[in-house]
Homo-oligomer: A and B are copies of this chain.
Amino acid sequence: MTDFFDVVLSQRAYRSFSPDPVSDAVIERVLTAATHAPSAENTQPWAFIVIREPELRARIGELTQRAWEGGGRQFSADRLTPAMLADVHQGALGGVSAAPVLVIVCGDTSHCVPAVLEASVWPAVQNLLLAATASGLGSALTTLATRFGEELREVLELPEHVQAMAVVPLGYPAKKLGPPKRLPLSERAHRERYGKPW
Q: Measuring CB to CB, which residues of chain A are less than 8 angstroms from any residue of chain B?
A: 1-9, 11-13, 28-29, 31-33, 35-38, 40-42, 44, 46-53, 56, 76, 79-80, 84, 106, 116, 118-119, 121-123, 125-127, 129-131, 134, 140-141, 143, 156-159, 162, 165-166, 180-183, 185, 188-195, 198
Copies per complex of this chain: 2
For A193, what are the chain B residues with a Cβ–Cβ distance below 8 Å? Answer: 49, 56, 156-157
Q: How far is the CA of A164 from the CA of B189 in the complex (A)?
A: 13
Q: How far is the CA of A173 from the CA of B78 in the complex (A)?
A: 47
For A33, what are the chain B residues with a Cβ–Cβ distance below 8 Å? Answer: 5, 8-9
CB within 8 Å for A198 and B38 given contacts A5-B29, A56-B192, A116-B143: no
Q: Which residue of B lies closest to A112 (CB)?
A: B79
A77 CB to nearest B CB, Å: 11
The interface residues of chain A, by DSSP majority, are classed as: mixed
A56 CB to nearest B CB, Å: 6
A12/B38 in contact, CB under 8 A? yes
A44/B4 in contact, CB under 8 A? no
A119/B122 in contact, CB under 8 A? yes
CB within 8 Å for A188 and B48 given contacts A11-B38, A143-B116: yes
Q: Which 9 A-B residue pairings sit nearest by Cβ, starting from the closest?
A: A122-B122, A123-B126, A118-B118, A126-B126, A4-B134, A48-B189, A2-B4, A157-B193, A4-B7
Selected from B129, B158, B183, B185, the residue in CB contact (under 8 A) with A28 is B185
6 contacts between A and B (CB under 8 A): A4-B6, A4-B130, A47-B194, A49-B191, A53-B192, A123-B126
